[in-house]
Chain A
């Protein structure tokens, strides 16, 4: 892959471009879904291709191909150039791209057991066992188990001389039980919904999930929800468990801080942001106990890597400090508009796509609370766990989430279950109502493998390390 990438870089040098880079990517993936002890999906895939990005006359062009044939190098580079030249026909200003410092580097995900060395049979057997246990609970009519594995080798070469070689290994897994009484259907997931939890790690991550050992409890909770009353309508205190809070951070902090959204690049599709560049270092995003970082360096995170797709090294940068907005996610084209250097968040979904600003690991820094003490300190409220649905407007202001389960908090103690809880809010108001965050002992990494953005739609794999937190005066009701 490296010699092929170097050949392309040579071709770029020969075509008098302002700047050019190439990514050659080989991605292997496995996906397994078992439903009611039937191996419904057992599939593997690989993709190998290259994408060439050129800056010419202050405008970008991009061409990508799945055919790794040396005879196609020059035609593909010429296509990228033709596209760049077409871009200049409708360009109001030159792109202020500032390439990162030249670097030669390697990055490999720390991994004890390569998931592709684990036999398929062992993986399927794990999910057969988990679904069998869930099916043994009364009223469970549907039991599903999921496993996903990826290994991506990515070579990056730029005309500046940067040369990078990365291998990123990721695993994920989860289970879900559906219960029905003939009228209603309720479900519970473990460790989280939408295929479980994900991490940059090896098979050891899946083993540590304990999918089989949690199967009975998951099924029992789904069954209990059938008999639970609908979540009442009220304005109340919420404690969000870490799995739901991860998505709250994702939607109402992670996306609004993307500088390409702020500059309008995504206006027609995913939307823009309520944030403006002039809010940096002055806007009170959240209460003073809230600190958020973007950290692409932390081991295990699904958004962890060595270098982004412009060759900028992975970084840990503050986003919200003591409640004040202090950082955006940026790139080599957006950061210079603010007089800054890129903080390394440009990533593409495969060789096929043009890189965009994507979340890395957007983490809510831990507070000081013990989780039990936090519940004991709450007179009246709800504890919400595990996302069921989400929606947020095109400027990331008005959000609405529903979770699989709510548990009543009354006089500092957990009480009855409620089903179909929904909560809604306005982003800065909500984050300014945060008055307690649990300590590092209760923090967990949650991987979001399905972050959508861009046209054509690209999927990014990002992470959020969070601990449960409390929010005041939130509007809640039960969906029916």
Chain B
């Protein structure tokens, strides 16, 4: 197996020459993933998967063709080139295609930890055992997943781009449950040895083991404290419908009419930065273009969106910011390394203490955009929703449905924690603080008539 940037560049260069077309791009993605899933304190799914993907994109007389395969032998490569070229030849010229991006060599050495790459099934099982034993002691149950992934991503094109990054990822999610209550914890990082197994288990268990009975609240507007898990959902969904240049250019994003205007409280700053190791490092996008930091909302003012080569070429004043997804895709560019600036609150508890009557929310479930332009999002609370009374968490609360404009919520932010956490993103990680938001709109309750 070819591995390492020098040999992979050489291998992909040969494919480019073999294609012998006006322009060509080849992407190689190799992954090794170990995944252990568990429920009721017992492993029920345990897998190791090795994948390899070769994506070839060619341009022939401004006609584009793409083909991907995991058959990486001489016959498979020849077949993929032939298919990509055949698709291009059968195409109509693409008037929006100007060129594949040009560039130089990027080799990103950060983001890879050998211990994660070497994590064996028995080591993952041992970590799961450690987490579950705490639940057994409390007569509770854990469900979750623990995974380790190593990845080699390389992109070479005929205009000089040679990009390579080897990375590792360790990830754990846990839901602790006991009777009608549940709690959640999540961790994401590059180094499996840094995974705080016991801490995560305790964090999830702490919300599932209240002795107080669960109560049902009426829908309505509440002041809420959102843990970073819930804030991440708001930021990711806002990005998904608003911060892509494609949605911006097609007028499907609120940003199309709001650049330079106030859209949120001055305490809100959101940006994307693939080069910041406080997130999940991505040195370049799926066209091999180095990522740029892009300010999306700056102190409440809408500032910009993210571009790939195609959307940058469509717009006179735009620069490619290095946010392409794997080609071909109809979505366009996507911000996948999102950050929200923290604030002044020293802790989540400090924010809770300022609330007379409100809700504490650990995470959201099944959030989906209802109206993209108005950024209206709906979803459910899950795994740790509590009533706040006189500055304290007093009772667990039955899960509630929210239907809320994200922008309106960001205009009602009253406090942010100084500390930020790396939480699950759409395609990577999102680093956000916890938020205190007033007038958060709940429209329903999850309750069966019989219960």
Across the interface, which residues of A come within 8 angstroms of B42, CB to CB?
90-93
Contact status B43-A479, CB under 8 Å: no
Residue of B nearest to A31 (CB): B328
> A61 contacts which of B46, B64, B96, B366 (Cβ < 8 Å)?
B46
Residue of A nearest to B186 (CB): A268
Contact status A267-B48, CB under 8 Å: no
Contact status B35-A456, CB under 8 Å: yes
Query: Apart from A31-B328, A43-B328, A479-B370, what 12 extra A-B contacts exist at CB < 8 Å?
Result: A33-B330, A39-B91, A62-B48, A86-B36, A86-B46, A87-B121, A124-B91, A388-B370, A392-B380, A397-B446, A429-B449, A479-B403
Contact status B66-A44, CB under 8 Å: yes
Across the interface, which residues of A come within 8 angstroms of B367, CB to CB?
391
Which residues of B228-268 are within 8 A (CB) of A? 250-252
21 pairs across A/B with beta carbons < 8 Å?
A46-B69, A46-B71, A61-B47, A62-B48, A64-B47, A65-B50, A67-B50, A91-B43, A128-B92, A265-B143, A267-B39, A268-B144, A268-B174, A269-B173, A394-B366, A394-B382, A398-B445, A398-B447, A424-B444, A426-B446, A455-B35
B128 within 8 A of A: yes
Across the interface, which residues of B come within 8 angstroms of A120, CB to CB?
86-87, 90-91
Across the interface, which residues of B come within 8 angstroms of A269, CB to CB?
145, 173
B401 within 8 A of A: yes
The stretch of A77-85, A101-109, A152-160, A197-205 that contacts the partner chain: A77-85
Interface string of A9-50 (1 = CB under 8 A from B): 000000000000000000000010101001111111111110
Contact status B251-A389, CB under 8 Å: no
A contact residues vs B (CB 8 Å cutoff): 31, 33, 35, 38-49, 51, 59-68, 79-80, 82-87, 89-93, 95, 119-121, 124, 128, 141-142, 144, 178, 180, 184-185, 263-269, 271, 274, 352-354, 388-395, 397-398, 400, 402, 420, 422, 424, 426, 428-429, 455-456, 479-480
CA distance A189 to B370 in the complex (A): 16
B contact residues vs A (CB 8 Å cutoff): 33-52, 64-71, 79-80, 83-84, 86-87, 90-92, 94-96, 120-122, 124-126, 128-129, 132, 141, 143-145, 147, 173-175, 177, 250-252, 327-330, 365-374, 376, 378-380, 382, 399, 401, 403, 443-449
Residue of B nearest to A352 (CB): B49
Given A60-B44, A400-B444, check contact A268 B39 (CB 8 Å).
Answer: yes
CA distance A480 to B87 in the complex (A): 43
> B45 contacts which of A184, A271, A354 (Cβ < 8 Å)?
A354
Contact status B252-A391, CB under 8 Å: no
> B46 contacts which of A60, A263, A456 (Cβ < 8 Å)?
A60
Across the interface, which residues of B come within 8 angstroms of A64, CB to CB?
47-50
7 closest A-B pairs (Cβ-Cβ)?
A: A86-B121, A267-B143, A43-B66, A41-B328, A398-B446, A66-B70, A62-B47
> B449 contacts which of A184, A426, A480 (Cβ < 8 Å)?
A426
Kindly provide the distance from the CB of B131 to the nearest chain A CB, expressed in whole angstroms.
9
Contact status B328-A42, CB under 8 Å: yes
Contact status A480-B50, CB under 8 Å: no
CA distance A48 to B145 in the complex (A): 27
Given A45-B67, A92-B40, A184-B373, check contact A87 B91 (CB 8 Å).
Answer: no
Kindly provide the distance from the CB of A295 to the nearest chain B CB, expressed in whole angstroms.
27
Contact status A422-B403, CB under 8 Å: yes
CA distance A124 to B91 in the complex (A): 8
Residue of A nearest to B143 (CB): A267
Across the interface, which residues of B come within 8 angstroms of A184, CB to CB?
373
CA distance A43 to B401 in the complex (A): 39
Across the interface, which residues of B come within 8 angstroms of A47, CB to CB?
69-70
Contact status A87-B43, CB under 8 Å: yes
Across the interface, which residues of B come within 8 angstroms of A67, CB to CB?
50, 52
Q: Which of B34, B37, B251 has the most CB atoms of chain A within a 10 A radius of its CB?
A: B37
Across the interface, which residues of A come within 8 angstroms of B37, CB to CB?
265, 268, 455
> A422 contacts which of B47, B66, B128, B370 (Cβ < 8 Å)?
B370
Across the interface, which residues of A come within 8 angstroms of B369, CB to CB?
389
Residue of A nearest to B383 (CB): A394
